[in-house]
Structure 1
Amino acid sequence: MAEAAENLPPVADIFNPHSPEYVDNPVPQCLALAERGPLVWYEPWQAWIMTHMDDIMKCWKEEPLSSDFYDWEFAPQRPPEDQWSNFERAMIGHSLLADQAHHRLVRRVTAPAFSRNVVDNIQAKIEPEVRKLFDDLGEPETFDYIEEIANHIPFISITRMVGIPEKYWPQIKKVILTFTETWNPTISDEQREAARQDSNRAIDIIREVIAERRLDPGQDDFLSTLLRIEAENKGFEEGDIITLILALIGAGADTTLVAQQWTVYSLLRHKEQIDTALASPEAFSNAFCEINRWGVSSKMGFARYAPRDMEFMGQTLRKGVMVLMMPHLKDYNPDYYDNPETFDVTRTFDPDVMFGYGPRYCIGAALAKRQLFLTVSELYRRFPNIELAEEPERDPGDHNAIVFKRLLLRTNCA
């Protein structure tokens, strides 16, 4: 066995998520990486990659590794408190980079802000904006769904849901959409610092909005709900509010834009399943798991860091080394799914791990899926005979996902 392992090609030769081959079809590389073992060293990123779903779920649930970006061995030095900018004040010690106890507090006290009733109310706020986008579009013979619809939906719907007044939209849109890059370990230091400065400017705007809302708190939106939670729960602070809003707008807009593209593309490639997928929000929630599985759009995964020198999954980890959990490696593995090549919106997902699992399950998952359901349902209501006008060309430039350069649709309105 040892001799066979020595004869294997380097992992970097079989797996490169930034290669044209991966962007064109990631499945062979994902399967090849998973076959190399449950914890694989990946030299280009100086990181271990966790490949098996059982191990990933256990890690999500038990949290033996740190989720604090500043624990990464190559992270910028954590600045002393008297040198913190707005970015450090919001991020250090708060919900995204929080210690486990504080993170659990944030999840517990904010759970009511993500209830089914709240999601239903948010849909009512978003629907007029979605309809207006389609009204402005009219009935063209063809249109680029990304340019005309998808690029606008995430930011408009999330800011409407959060309660960011429209007068701030032009300012904040320029600086908040790069938020996820501030802790992406695979980009350059220059890119990360530029994103950090953008986040500082976004935080200035959010703090201004919060100050206004404190003077006029009686509105029915996510921000007002968070301010009430802050008043009623010791330990939940303004920094937590800022971090949650950054995540919902920044991370939410980024991931939802990718999801918009793949949802429309996948359903148009399997038009016979559209009615089933859009039968109800619940049906779409399950269908979206299949869309995400079938598309395999991810390039990396969920980053964690060794909090100390430690033994982990049979390997010796040095303090600060990155461990990437990659649940998408399973998506075409027949050990996990029957007939993985087949697209089936009624496929059973038990458990549903698309948005994570355990204590750090994505708190905005229900909001993201409802937003997608609303937009795609409106698309098919307006254009019941819509189809792909071309096979879309994939864009290799995205740092985190496989996306399309454009998604040209033919409406067949004539």
Structure 2
Amino acid sequence: METTETVYHSNFKVGAYPFYKQLRSLDPIFPMSQTGEQTSWIVTKYDHVKELLKSKSFIKDQSKFMEHSSSEEPDLITSVFQNMMLDVDPPDHTRLRKLVQPYFNPKKIKELEPRISEIADQLLADISRKEGAIDLIEDFAFPLPIIVISELLGVPAEDRNKFRKWSQTILSAADNLEADFIHDTEDFLTYLKKLFDERKENPQEDLISSLLQAEEEGDQLNREELYSMIVLLIIAGHETTVNLIGNTMLALFEHPEQLEKLQADLTFTDSAIEEGLRFYSPVDFSTARWAEEDVDFHGRTIRRGDLVLASLSSANRDEDKFENAETFDITRSQNPHIAFGYGIHFCLGAPLARLEGNVAIKKLLTTFPDIRLYDSHPRWQHVFLLRGLSELKVAVG
């Protein structure tokens, strides 16, 4: 069996799926590492993952297991990540999600389709003027969702590109020098403070202005939670969709008969998006959960305070759940994947990601019917939680 050191290294993304398959067969609740009396676990089978994600026995609040050696208040950076909606339990999670849910309900998101189409058309027009190979990530998959989420939040157009470096540093925190993480996060929060001050002086019809109002009322949102919410929405609001677009296009290029089928009938776009989400899930692992008390979980004793990760990518290739699980099939009709998670932490932005992915792929294939893969060795980003490409070189004819 693999050791902890070999579970995550520079080539892990390339060989991850055979490794997951081995775990599902031999050790589906896998003790990834051990420190003292605490064990970190990876759960890989579909049914087990769904059970974990909805179980009240596994919580997000790690502070319940930490010894507080100081009575000092945590600094702002620490507070931001402790208060992030993705990493808190009810009732705080319920309260925070209720504040932003109206902006992401399917009906509200559908109203954004004309603007998303307009942005896609402009990006593709810019691409058509370029010569040589195109990086589909840099030129299309990244700018489309960052423009959309920035406009929804109320972030000025000239500031959007700053978020890519900041978000990638935060998402890669485990692989970055501590100084890089602290420096970029401080820059991010300094920028947000300035933006908050501007919006307080001049409120707009945007989500930041709405959340500032909730913070000012005091009983719905405090300042640390406000920072946390915006950081989360900016990062999650574009990173997952970048990966959805890039990963689905890669799968289509790797399966040319499926690409031809989609080009011949774009009514398959919805099911192609769902199959892309299943086949190359944009999020490899759920964020961490901890066992609130000792619990027996399918024959394994998980101790109080043990960290548990759900492998969404593995669950979505589980041969006991999906027929021909290793086959990419855009006509798959039964596709109950959990690429957006499950339970109370199901991805808030799933309707937006699906719509952006649908518009992006339809527009791309319509505008460039001869599009093809230019570099047959695409490179995956080395971010543990996510599965996304650092670049995807294509020729557009």
Contact 2:374 2:394 in 1 (8 A): yes
Measure the CA separation in 2 of the matches of 1:88 and 1:16. Answer: 28
CA 1:333–1:358: 2 relative to 1, 3 Å: closer
> Residue in 2 aligned with 1:88?
78
Match of 2:167 in 1: 176
- Shift in Å at residue 394 of structure 1? 3.0
Please identify, of 230-239 and 39-48, the stretch whose mean Cα deviation from structure 2 is larger. Answer: 230-239
2:275 and 2:328 in contact (8 A); partners too: yes
Q: CA offsets per residue over residues 107-136 of structure 1, 9 Å max, x none?
A: 234221112232133334444433332222
Which of 136, 150, 153 in structure 1 is aligned with 2:126? Answer: 136
Residue 332 (str. 1) matches residue 317 (str. 2): yes
CA contact (8 A) 1:113 1:225 kept: no
Distance 2:161 2:282 in 1: 29
The one-letter code of the counterpart of 1:210 is F
User: Residues 316 and 342 of structure 1: is their aligned pair in 2 closer, same or farther, counting only changes over 3 Å?
Assistant: closer
Distance change (3 Å), C-alpha of 1:81 and 1:176 = farther
How far has the Cα of 1:160 moved from its partner?
2.0
Post-superposition CA distance 1:50-78 (Å, at most 9, x none):
122222212222331122355677xxx87
Q: Report the Cα offset of residue 359 of structure 1.
A: 0.5
Name the SS for the 1:35 alignment partner.
helix
> What are the residue-to-residue correspondences of 1:186-265 with 2, within 5 Å?
187-188=174-175, 191=177, 194-219=180-205, 221-227=206-212, 234-265=219-250
Could you tell me the TM-score, scaled by structure 2's length? 0.84
Residue of structure 2 aligned with 1:273, choices 261, 264, 273: 261
Shift of 1:363: 0.6
Change (3 A) 1:396 1:126: closer
Residue 147 (structure 2) aligns with = 156
In 2, distance between residues paired with 1:213 and 1:396? Answer: 35
C-alpha distance 209-121 of structure 1, shift in aligned 2 (>3 A)? farther
**Structure 2 runs not aligned, ≥5 long:** none
Alignment pair present for 1:381 and 2:371: no
Amino acid at match of 1:130: A
Q: CA distance change for structure 1 residues 151 and 306 in 2, over 3 Å: closer, same or farther?
A: same
Cα distance change on mapping 1:203 and 1:284 into 2, 3 Å: farther
What is the number of equivalent residue pairs in this alignment? 390
CA RMSD for the aligned pairs? Answer: 3.3
> Would you say the 8 A contact 1:301–1:325 is kept in 2?
yes
Kindly, what percent of the aligned residue pairs are identical? Answer: 23
- Aligned partner of 1:271: which letter? L
Question: Equivalents in 1 of 2:171, 2:4: separation in Å?
Answer: 28
Residue ranges of structure 1 left out of the alignment (5+ in a row):
1-9
Residues 273, 358 of structure 2: 8 Å contact kept: no
Match of 2:377 among 392, 396, 399: 392
In the superposition, relative to structure 1, how do residues 106 and 79 fare at CA in structure 2: closer, same or farther (>3 Å)? farther
Determine the structure 1 residue equivalent to 2:48: 55
Decide which moves more: 367-376 or 308-317.
Answer: 308-317
2 CA distance for matches of 1:398 and 1:27? 16
Whether contact under 8 Å (1:61, 1:358) holds in the other structure is yes
Question: Residue 100 of structure 1: SS of its match in structure 2?
Answer: coil
1:80-119, aligned counterparts within 5 Å? 82-119=72-109
Q: Which amino acid aligns with 1:376?
A: I
Q: Distance in 2 between matches of 1:318 and 1:305?
A: 9
The letter of the residue matching 1:43 is S
Matches within 5 A, 1:315-394: 315-349=300-334, 351-394=336-379
8 Å CA contact 2:49–2:315 kept in 1: the answer is: no
- Point out the more displaced range, 38-47 or 59-68: 38-47
Q: 1:313 deviation in Å? A: 4.1
Residue 3 (structure 1) aligns with? none
CA apart distance, 1:311: 4.5
Q: Give distance in 2, aligned partners of 1:277 and 1:228.
A: 46
| C-alpha displacement of 1:233 | 8.6
For 1:70-81, what aligned pairs fall within 5 Å after superposition? 70=63
Q: What is the alpha-carbon distance in structure 2 between the residues aligned to residue 177 and residue 19 of structure 1?
A: 17
Q: Structure 2 vs 1, CA of residues 108 and 273 (structure 1 numbering), >3 Å: closer, same or farther?
A: farther
1:10-89, aligned counterparts within 5 Å?
10-12=1-3, 16-18=7-9, 20=11, 22-43=12-33, 46-68=39-61, 70=63, 82-89=72-79
Going from structure 1 to structure 2, the CA distance change for 1:177 and 1:160 (only over 3 Å counts) comes to farther
Cα deviation digits, residues 370-405 of structure 1 (max 9, x gap): 222222222222212222234233346444445445
